[in-house]
A and B are shown apart, each in its own frame.
Chain A
Amino acid sequence: MTRITIDPITRLEGHGKIEIFLDEEGDVENTYFQIPELRGFERFCVGRPVEEMPLLTNRICGVCPEAHHMAAAKAGDAVYGVDPPSAAKKLRELLYMGFFFTDHTTHFYALGGPDFVMGPDAPVAERNILGVIHKVGLEIAGQVLQARKYGHTVVEMLGGRKVHPCTSIPGGVTKGLTEEEREKIEGMGEWAVGFAQFSLDLFGDIVLGNQEYVDLILGDIYSDRTHYIGLVDENNKVNFYDGKVSVVDPDGKRLGKYAPDEYTDWIAEHVEPWTYLKFPYLKKVGWKGFVDGNDSGVYMATPLSRLNAADGMATPLAQAAYEKFYETLGGKPVHQRLAIHWARLIELLYSAERWMELVTDPEITSPNIHTVPTKVPTEGVGIVEAPRGTLTHHYWTDERGILTKVNLVVGTTNNYAPITMSIKKAASSLINKGTVVTEPILNMVEMAFRAYDPCFGCATHSLPGQMPLEVTIRDVDGEIVNVLRQFC
């Protein structure tokens, strides 16, 4: 058996790794995708006051601290049985829109975009954000950094500091919004809506205007018929901050919606011997292995999942983009994984429009931003949509609010099974008997999981702070016969 490993080279342990095993014929026999897991978070939290969690958990991940901050604050609300004032919820959500806007922008231009703007088989040295900028124009680079700056500014104004917000606490927030700040955020929000529309237009021109890319998106290589989940509001429209989690089957039929404290009725975790990370699946459908279809409990939680699991978008421009999305791709649900990139841009537009709705809400400058918890704390669950999937925080405390147990189901964990399946499908389609495994082919395998925007953020803190790849090809005896690196 030949083994191909896509492996980072600067880590000795705990790194993300793809291994592709070939059979004697040279076809793909199996693939394994191992994600690094940080250890001991539960032990680290036990014994601390639950109100510390919004500060502690936003250190779990350098990429999405705001998502952990929000989920922790909401779980804290639930632990104390306290309902924050309406203005506090809106302030939290406004901060969250600034975060989503920044995160989705970065993903499209820096990570997902290069495959489409430059092409999956473009020279590797050009297939990055610099290549994108050189192709679409330097002015766009300015707009991308401007978008990030505006998103960061909203987070800073509402979150109390530039990175790692600190204002959400059980019962509400500690910082309100002045009229002067509100006006600034409104001005930036107007620009943000324009930028999001521009980004969707850019996607339309570059991707949808190229039949080769459309074929790539619609082709079978990057498609799996799984279940989908995503947070929706009372009208079943996509919501990032609050609501119930909608679950739909591969035909798009809604199986139900669950409130945060009902998540254990819906989600269970499967264990495999080759990885520390567990595979969540839909309990009511059951674990049937790494297979798709209506009988398999494998589900996906991504921007595409959110669109599939909802009835639409709650803002007008995003709704129009949503309708065009399904019209173009042949109806709902969409199973093609590369469409996640498009769905992400529709969400980008929604985040900007929702930003404008919230900042122009008369209540947003209200001083009534905190409800003092009075009940004895017990147990609570908080759910938000992180950019890369549904994020669940579950805390248990004693009567003093001291944590006794913690459970987190993070965005990428939700997607572990579908990512694994997508890699196998792409590898099986692209690597066959006699295939010379080249960098572009491996890049197309990587594209299968890059669409999910999988989060290794926690593992990328040490310099060089990256996830480099090395491809090792081994013969039937496991001896290395060739090594390919993605960088020189």
Chain B
Amino acid sequence: MSSGSSVKEETIPAAGQQPKILIVGLGNPILGDDGIGWRVAEAVEEALLLEEEVKNPAVEVACYSLGGLSLMERLIGFDQAILIDAVQTGSGKPGSLYDLTLNDLPDLSTGHLTAAHDTSLQTALKLGREMGASLPSEIVIVGIEAEKVYDFSETLSPEITASLPEAVNLVLKQLNKLLRRSSQSLTV
């Protein structure tokens, strides 16, 4: 087989590059409460734009309907990441917020059918790291307990909508922590 250009070479950030943080809203914006991740990410982006002090070229905000390998590929080149997504624990009240890490999620990659067509984010990250891809050293997750994620709708449930401001604050708090940890000052 002919050899393509190395993924490793293309993804390692240049020396001296400022640490980069990616905030990702995950979910499906037309699937009811599954769209909460996007809504929070969009609100976070607005808050960052409005707050002059927090303008920071190292912070990017994106919205994706992705998981597994595809999500891992989007994280390449970032030093830290915040994922925002709907979760269904089955025990929390709709709109409950969760401050999670990847370790809090079951790593389902050891089984089959862990994803319909993909692998788990944890496995994808291990794969990427084994290849030397530059992936975030820290990934934090802000989860919002969702109620209706099987009905097509662009409207969130009232409880989920009500949780939006608090979710935005939680993301900004997490962002502040990450920025502090990467020795940058930021006031939110």
Contacts and interface: CB of A to CB of B under 8 A. Distances in A.
Nearest to B120: A466
A160 interface: no
A403 to B, nearest CB: 13
A164 B28 CA distance: 12
B106 A464 contact: yes
A446 B112 CA distance: 8
Contacts of B108: 464, 466-468, 486-487
Interface residues of B, number: 61
Interface in A1-49: 10-14, 36-41, 43-44
A487 B111 contact: yes
Contacts of B114: 128, 466-468, 487
Contacts of B116: 63, 453-457, 460, 467
B67 A469 contact: no
B97 to A, nearest CB: 13
Given A59-B28, A128-B123, A465 B151 contact: no
B90 A10 contact: yes
Interface stretch (B41-49, B52-60, B81-89): B81-89
B143 interface: yes
A53 interface: no
Interface string A321-343: 00000000000000000000000
B137 interface: no
Interface in B104-125: 105-121, 123
A128 B130 CA distance: 14
B183 interface: no
A163 B38 CA distance: 15
Contacts of A464: 87, 105-106, 108, 120
B118 A63 contact: yes
A40 B113 contact: no
A436 interface: no
Contacts of B26: 461, 463, 465
Contacts of B131: 138, 141-142, 145
Contacts of A146: 4-5, 7
Interface in B55-111: 64-70, 73, 83, 85-90, 105-111
B67 A163 contact: no
A133 B28 contact: no
Contacts of A457: 116-117
A13 B148 CA distance: 10
Contact of B85 (A38, A138, A462): A462
Most buried by B among A13, A107, A111, A195: A111
Contacts of A462: 27, 34, 85-88, 146, 149
Contacts of B115: 460, 465-467
B28 A465 contact: no
Nearest to B111: A486
Nearest to A141: B131
A195 B4 CA distance: 9
Contacts of A460: 67, 115-116
A354 to B, nearest CB: 19
Most buried by B among A12, A115, A462: A462
A459 interface: yes
Given A195-B1, A463-B85, A127 B153 contact: no
B86 to A, nearest CB: 4
Interface in A427-474: 443, 446, 450, 453-469
Contacts of A115: 112
Given A129-B127, A191-B4, A62 B65 contact: yes
Contacts of B149: 461-462
Contacts of A76: none
B117 A142 contact: no
B17 interface: no
Given A133-B127, A487-B106, A465 B8 contact: no
A446 B131 CA distance: 30
Interface in B130-145: 130-131, 133, 141, 143
Q: Is the interface of B mostly helix, strand, loop or mixed?
A: loop
Contact of B88 (A10, A188, A468): A10
Contacts of B112: 114-115, 127-128, 443, 446, 450, 469, 486
A194 B2 CA distance: 6
A41 B65 contact: no
Nearest to B85: A463
A415 B89 CA distance: 31
A133 B68 CA distance: 16
Contacts of A455: 116-117
A420 interface: no
A465 B123 CA distance: 13
Interface in A129-165: 129-130, 133, 138, 141-143, 145-146, 148-150, 152, 163-164
B27 A461 contact: yes
A461 B65 contact: yes
Given A111-B117, A130-B127, A463-B26, A469 B111 contact: yes
A56 interface: yes
A190 B1 CA distance: 10
Contacts of B126: 130
Given A163-B66, A461-B28, A487-B108, A39 B118 contact: no
A103 interface: yes
Interface in A106-129: 106-107, 110-111, 114-115, 124-125, 127-129
B130 A138 contact: yes
Contact of A163 (B2, B65, B120, B150): B65
Given A63-B118, A462-B86, A110 B69 contact: yes
Nearest to A62: B65
Nearest to B126: A130
Given A40-B152, A190-B2, 16 more contacts: A39-B152, A44-B153, A110-B117, A128-B119, A130-B127, A141-B130, A145-B128, A450-B112, A455-B117, A461-B34, A464-B108, A465-B120, A466-B114, A469-B113, A487-B106, A487-B108
Interface of B: 1-2, 4-8, 26-31, 34, 64-70, 73, 83, 85-90, 105-121, 123, 126-128, 130-131, 133, 141, 143, 146, 149-153
